[in-house]
Structure 1
Amino acid sequence: MEAARETLTPTSNLRTQYMAVLREVRQLQDHFGLSVACDVAANIITLLYSIDIFLSFATVGYQMCIVTISTIFMCYSLLRLLMVAETCAAASSGADEVRSLFAECSLEVPPLHFSAAGFFYVDRSLLVSVISITVTYVIVLYQFHSV
């Protein structure tokens, strides 16, 4: 009976800490979720606009300075999206490891996800979505520029 209490105490303490972290994450999402959504949207718009400028001036053989600047903005936008998505994904995967520990002890805890004001989850799937949107946009732009 003593051994059961000793093993239960650290587990319940860990569960209490996990629930406290989950509350803090939800509070952060309430305060910064809309800001993250706007930041992601601004990065996508900057990325697409940079691609548009790149295609417009690179196909005409215009000044290399404009093409270089648009390439820098494309890389900058992708890097910002990558940083946000990877940070949220790393925190979520760490929380999943803790949840698996609770599953072994038959304790149920809610999952940890980061969302941008409830519009979408901020994780690695966001990067896949942005890349697919970008590729589709580039194909359509290239078709219009070649006509």
Structure 2
Amino acid sequence: MTWPGLSAAPLAAFGELRRLQRARLALHRCSLLCGRHFGPALLLAAAGNFVGIVSLSYGLVMVRVSRQSSPSMAWLSIWLLFVLGNLLLTCWACSSAANRATRVAVLFSKIQTLLRPGDASDTSRLEMDPLHFSAAGFFDVNLPLFVSTVSAAVAYMVVFLQFSELQRTSYNSKM
């Protein structure tokens, strides 16, 4: 790329620039369609993963407290890791797409200064909202969702542990 007005130097590879613009628009269109058609599914998946994480954590605590066999603890741990991995993969994919769209927007803003009005710069001037994947409009599916879900599950686990300790001490004091 060179500055407009320099003779004998090409301004930009317009074919590649148009291809990048089409890819940017397709990514935003895909995000909107995913939000419309798969938003409820993303909502149910995130809620199901949260309930699964809390339930499995509680199961692990109860198995540990009751000192049952280790195979049940191993299966619960594997299942918990699977649910955590499922949620992490979903959140990472959505965050990765949003980050790439942000990088393309920054690239277009840098290219915009080099392009003369008209030519290939018309579609790069389109105002677009930041890319995000929504779970039926309730929340965005991204990496902070994973962190907050795990944080909430840990908070519930701490409450379960404290409650089980309270029950055990009150039961022992009655006897």
Q: TM-score range by the shorter chain?
A: 0.7 to 0.9
Question: What RMSD, in angstroms, separates the aligned Cα atoms of the two structures?
Answer: 2.3
| Alignment match, 2:129 | 110
Residues 73, 13 of structure 1: CA spacing in aligned structure 2 closer, same or farther, 3 A cutoff? Answer: closer
Task: Give the Cα separation in 2 of the matches to 1:117 and 1:145.
Answer: 36
Q: Per chain length, whose mean CA-contact separation is higher, i.e. which structure has more relative contact order (CA < 8 Å, sep 6+)? A: 2
Aligned: 1:36 with 2:42: yes
Task: Give the Cα separation in 2 of the matches to 1:81 and 1:54.
Answer: 19
Task: Give the Cα separation in 2 of the matches to 1:17 and 1:50.
Answer: 41
| Alignment match, 2:92 | 86
Structure with max Cα Rg? 2
Alignment partner for residue 145 of structure 1, among 139, 147, 164? Answer: 164
Deviation string, structure 1 residues 77-121 (Cα, Å, up to 9, x no partner): 100001001111111111011010122216343311111111111
Specify which structure has the higher proportion of helix: 1
Give me the TM-score of the superposition, normalised by structure 1.
0.87
Residues 13, 79 of structure 1: CA spacing in aligned structure 2 closer, same or farther, 3 A cutoff? Answer: closer
Conserved in 2, the CA contact under 8 Å of 1:51 and 1:138? yes
